[in-house]
A and B are shown apart, each in its own frame.
Chain A
Amino acid sequence: MDFTFTEDQLLFQDSVRDFLANEVTPERVRASWESDSGRDDVLWAQLAELGLTGMTVAEEHGGLGMNELDFVLLAQECGYVALPEPLVHTALVAVPLLQQVGGDLAARWLPKIAAGEAKVIVGIAQNMLVEDAHVADLLLLEDGDKLVAATQEQVTLRHNASVDPSRRLYAVELGAGATTVAAGEEARCLVAGALNRGALGAAAQALGLAQRMVDISVQYTSERQQFGKPIGSFQAVKHHMANVAVRLEYAKAPVHRAAYAVAHNQEIASHAVSHAKLVACEAANLAAKNSIQVHGAMGYTWEVDLHIYMKKAWALANTWGDAGLHKTRVAGRIFAEGAALGAGATFG
């Protein structure tokens, strides 16, 4: 039993954290809001150079051959800076899906993803809309009981604006020419896997977002003075933040366990992901609620950076399965006859 990350995993996290702190500043996120595509090719090339776009791509296809567990701490860091680029999507959803599909499609696209030359975006019915469909060189879409591959020429996109200006969402209408990648049971399994990995990515980012909101709030309340003192010295303010810290502290291990379960294809993976998604998004939502409160009117403005993180947290809570979906999955497991519950059952 070893529930710790390796030295290498932690070092990689540190270096990615440093990189993102320098490059993905709030100013740069805001700049993306103003640009047409909302995406930054220079940044994407940098991410590719660091090996991040190809992190989960197999070595034979020019990647680093790492798995979901290796990536989960990096996904937290992406959340911490509210990275607009589809990196978590690429590493956790698109690449594993392509790898499962295999064959020519994988051989053709994976090296390009690793090199930062192409983006592959996955759309599943559960998400209603497809984030970043406009920058996709290839779309993998759930279409009824099929999984199809389509290029930009084979689809029509309808933009939907999100509360989070970083998120570029599209309704995708399939035109002629799309090819079927899988059908029936096979397609269902692939889509289910994508949902789990997407939810894992959202959960990990939610941890980072929650931490960022706490950090911003601690700093603000240490500086802002009222009644002749920093407002952070008032207990009501402290306890708002302590409550977030408690929920956040206990949401981390479930996310890490979910990453492990997905990486090792464990039977418990779907359940573990639902658990992780629920508690991590709940922590992030609490962080948003309490952080805006301790900012007073400042928190209600466009100018203060808090909303960059708050809005992403709100959006993530309902993507890759909303609470209703994930609670239903948990309920299905724990209320089933003969369910393995209680002390000693956690690790099977």
Chain B
Amino acid sequence: MDLAYTDQQKAFREEIRAWLAANVPAEPLQTFDTEEGFKQHRAWEAKLNEGRWGMVTWPEELGGRGCDLIEWLVFEEEYYKARAPLRVNQNGIFLLGPTLMEYGTDEQKARILPKMATGEEVWAQGWSEPNAGSDMAAIRSTARLEGDKYIINGQKTWSTRAVWADWCFGMFRTDPDSERHRGLTFILVPLDSPGITVRPIPQLDGLPGFAEIFFDNVEVAVQNRLGDEGAGWSVAMATAGFERGLMLRSPARFQETAKRLVQLYVENRESADRDPSVRDAVIRSYLDAESYCLTTYQTACRLNKGGKIGAESSTNKIFWSELDQNMHGTAMSILGARAELLPHAPDAVGVGTWLDGWLFAQSGPIYAGTNEVQRNIIAERMLGMPR
């Protein structure tokens, strides 16, 4: 055990820090849940890519830096410290990208990855359907093979950033007689295909952060199938595995929130301490964010040395999503009567982005597999309790 960064890791940190200092926009971008904000974030992805900072974990020949997990954590730390824009194409870069590298054909990789890297093509995920939420194997949308095309019909929903995204990936039932996990195929669909209707769904903040996607005899070239026909479930599990694993929410994000929470508490200490539970909640939040960081580093080091990550990764999603809720809830308590004010309200002094964060924190225990489903997985697969 040696809990110090190597000179190489330190140099890497300096390099990304310097680049971000020179390039992160002085004014925060508009949220990518607006048309203008989406464009701004797309442009930021292009800029990141120019500096070869877009996909640091991708191999060098694909425009990445071949970073290992520790370097990725360092990158994320600097990225969040610099308050750089959120990643509009995270579905592509962190989920589909690695899945394509594993399951894609050379033609698919060459066609898809470069445009993903530049932000020219932004990706949405299409798993959920009105009747297939937690029970993803209940998917009903169909894809029928005709010659060299699939004809897709059905409906996806809750698809994040689908309003302005260019493509979506997801699972469709290719075998009409199949049930549950069998007979599903992983297909990539251009969202400008004829027969597609995207209907925006306003989220808690009123902005269309996700959308329904209707498919009416949509034709998709068979080259857009990822993996074998009928093998969709195992390809999707690889994608969900990445998602549940380390890449979705790096510790840096929560550590920066914890830091801001400590600062908010210190600045408002007198009023905050009228509720004695607030101080305790701040201390707990800070420690949990640190625990999340330490545990992630320990896991990353284990994986770097050839270790494997198993069902225990389901603890990850629960830990960070509850932490995020606790932190923002505590901030709301500290802000008191100001907490409910929208940031542009004239008397909303010093409210920062806490309200926005509080709203978004409500979704953490729901998306990427609800926390109840994660608890089932932990109990059955990690602890071995009976089904």
Contact = CB atoms under 8 A, between A and B. Distances in A.
A343 B13 CA distance: 12
Interface residues of B, number: 60
Nearest to B78: A344
A260 B283 contact: no
A266 B9 CA distance: 21
B376 A341 contact: no
Interface string A302-336: 00000000000000000000000001001100110
B48 interface: no
Q: Considering residues B279, B294, B300, B302, which has the most beta carbons from chain A within 10 angstroms of its beta carbon?
A: B294
Contacts of A167: none
Given A2-B301, A241-B379, A257-B3, A341 B315 contact: no
A323 B77 CA distance: 30
Contacts, number: 169
Nearest to B9: A1
B283 A334 contact: yes
B91 interface: no
Given A233-B386, A238-B375, A279-B287, A250 B295 contact: yes
Contacts of A53: none
Contact of B385 (A222, A260, A339): A222
The interface size bin for chain A is: 35 or more
Contact of A341 (B4, B74, B286): B286
B334 to A, nearest CB: 13
Contact of A2 (B2, B266, B280): B2
A251 interface: yes
B312 interface: yes
B64 to A, nearest CB: 20
Interface string A220-246: 011000000110110101110111011
A66 to B, nearest CB: 13
Q: Considering residues B74, B291, B315, B374, which has the most beta carbons from chain A within 10 angstroms of its beta carbon?
A: B291
B352 to A, nearest CB: 15
B259 interface: yes
Given A238-B375, A250-B295, A245 B383 contact: yes
Q: Is the interface of B mostly helix, strand, loop or mixed?
A: helix
A334 to B, nearest CB: 5
Nearest to A251: B291
Interface string A261-275: 100000000000001
Given A1-B9, A253-B291, A347 B3 contact: yes
A346 interface: yes
Contact of A1 (B5, B253, B315): B5
A198 interface: no
Contact of B252 (A221, A242, A252, A344): A344
A2 B1 contact: yes
A254 interface: yes
A61 interface: no
Interface in B351-387: 372, 374-376, 378-380, 382-387
Q: Considering residues A1, A69, A245, which has the most beta carbons from chain B within 10 angstroms of its beta carbon?
A: A1
Given A1-B5, A342-B258, A246 B385 contact: no
Q: Considering residues A243, A246, A279, which has the most beta carbons from chain B within 10 angstroms of its beta carbon?
A: A246
A221 B387 CA distance: 12
B288 A250 contact: yes
A256 interface: yes
A245 B382 contact: yes
A252 B297 CA distance: 12
B81 A239 contact: no
A163 B1 CA distance: 38
B3 A1 contact: yes
B212 interface: no
A14 interface: no
27 contacts: A1-B5, A2-B1, A2-B3, A3-B1, A3-B294, A221-B386, A233-B386, A235-B375, A237-B385, A238-B380, A241-B383, A243-B375, A249-B315, A250-B291, A253-B297, A253-B298, A254-B287, A254-B290, A254-B294, A331-B279, A342-B255, A343-B78, A343-B252, A343-B259, A346-B294, A346-B297, A347-B5
Given A242-B375, A327-B280, 13 more contacts: A3-B302, A232-B385, A238-B380, A250-B288, A251-B291, A253-B294, A254-B287, A257-B3, A330-B287, A343-B80, A344-B77, A344-B78, A347-B297
Interface of A: 1-6, 69, 214, 218, 221-222, 229-230, 232-233, 235, 237-239, 241-243, 245-246, 249-254, 256-257, 260-261, 275, 278-279, 327, 330-331, 334-335, 339, 341-347
Interface of B: 1-6, 9, 13, 70, 74, 76-78, 80-81, 251-253, 255-256, 258-259, 262, 265-266, 279-280, 283, 286-288, 290-295, 297-298, 300-302, 305, 312, 315, 318-319, 372, 374-376, 378-380, 382-387
